[in-house]
Amino acid sequence: MSAVRAAGAVDTFRLGAVIITMGNRPAELNALIQSVLDQQGPAVELAVVGNGAPLPPLPAGVRTAELPENLGIPGGRNVGIELFGPNGRDVDAVLFLDDDGRLPLTDSATLLREAFTADPHLGIVSFRIADPDTGETARRHVPRLRASDPLHSSPVTTFLGGASAVRSTVFEQAGQLPADFFYAHEETDLAWRALDAGWSIDYRADIVLHHPTTSPARHATYFHNVARNRVWLARRNLPAPLVPLYLCTWILLTLVRRPSGEALKAWWGGFREGWRTPCGQRRPMQWRTVWRLTRLGRPPVI
């Protein structure tokens, strides 16, 4: 491909950004929207979803939806995807951005267009999350086991939901986010299905989202959802022999981390609920996908 044709493909690659909000961060939401509008190159289209909350005044041209109830993070993002047409087909890739985040660099959209057009098999890009005050990236925000160097980009097996971009074709082939998860592990569920469909996922350290460093573990519901959704994730996606191996590994890891008594009680309650309630459609990944995950450094038993 000539340089002119390559540049043309980049310029015509359409990006849309989905932001869900509970209406409690109006200043942060406005700052995020402005950082999207400030991106170089063709405009990134915007879709904002009020997840059980009314929306504040927004710039002209923003696609909007006000939901009567909170559908959770994956449910709200799925509504945002559909604001760009069925499975987001009005754009070529959909960005998911947390409403208290901000794109500090103006070339992020350009880097995404270049990445997606250079690699037709690239399905998902995970951004680097950095604290706006310290510039540091928390270890849990690097979506791989070897997370000591957050400035190192690499292929990965999952992604960060509030700082990511997904090619719209992925939704058509692998489905959207699992709305019943409400929050926790919905990204891994989509990532595994995307990898099983032949797509790749990249962590890009040069595409940055500023986001305050907070701990989701401050709420008991976090431990409940993490455990329940971990079971659902395994039941939905793993070959039968790997389901007990995966879940036993995570039981051991949870105990080693020594959560508080209240947290552990919530975790076990979620774990039991994950077995007792429907997990949605079961589509076990192919064994070649298991091997691919293993070669990427994260076999689906951890």
Task: Report pLDDT digits (tens) over 28-53.
Answer: 999 999 999 999 999 999 999 999 99
Res. 6: pLDDT tops 60: no
CA-based nearest residue to 165, from 78, 231, 92, 235:
92
Q: Read out DSSP for the chain?
A: --HHHHHHHHHH--EEEEEEE-SS-HHHHHHHHHHHHT-SSSPPEEEEEEESSPPPP--TT-EEEEESS--HHHHHHHHHHHTTSGGGTTSSEEEEE-TT-B---TTHHHHHHHHHHH-TTEEEEEEEEE-TTT----GGGSSSS--S-TT--EE-S---TTEEEEEHHHHHHH----GGG-SSSHHHHHHHHHHHTT-EEEEEEEEEEE-----GGGSHHHHHHHHHHHHHHHHHHS-TTHHHHHHHHHHHHHHHT---HHHHHHHHHHHHHHHHS------PPPHHHHHHHHHTT--TT-
The pLDDT of residue 5 is 46
Task: Report pLDDT digits (tens) over 156-199.
Answer: 999 999 999 999 999 999 999 999 999 999 999 999 999 999 99
For residue 60 the two structure tokens come to 């002209």
* C-alpha radius of gyration, the chain, whole number: 19
Res. 265: pLDDT tops 80: yes
Residue 8 banded pLDDT, cuts 50, 70, 90: low
CB–CB of 49/95 below 8 Å? no
Q: What is the pTM of this model?
A: 0.95
Q: Are strands 15-21 and 122-130 parallel, antiparallel or unpaired?
A: unpaired
Res. 216: pLDDT tops 80: no
Task: Report pLDDT digits (tens) over 277-287.
Answer: 999 999 999 99
Q: How many other C-beta atoms can be found within 10 angstroms of the C-beta atom of residue 231?
A: 23
What is the average per-residue pLDDT within 125-137? 95
What is the average per-residue pLDDT within 69-94? 98
Question: Which residues have a Cβ under 8 Å from the Cβ of 127 and sit 6 or more positions away?
Answer: 108, 160, 163, 164, 165, 204, 207, 208, 209
Find residue 49's DSSP bridge partners: 20, 65
Q: Quote the CA–CA distance of 143 and 150 in Å, as a whole number.
A: 9
CA-based nearest residue to 302, from 251, 256, 246, 257:
246
Q: Please give the C-alpha separations between residue 111 and each of 117, 132, 208, 233, in angstroms, as whole numbers.
A: 10, 21, 11, 31
The pLDDT of residue 217 is 59
Residue 1 banded pLDDT, cuts 50, 70, 90: very low
Q: What is the mean pLDDT of the chain?
A: 94
Residue with tokens 């039991």: 272
For residue 67 the two structure tokens come to 């939901």
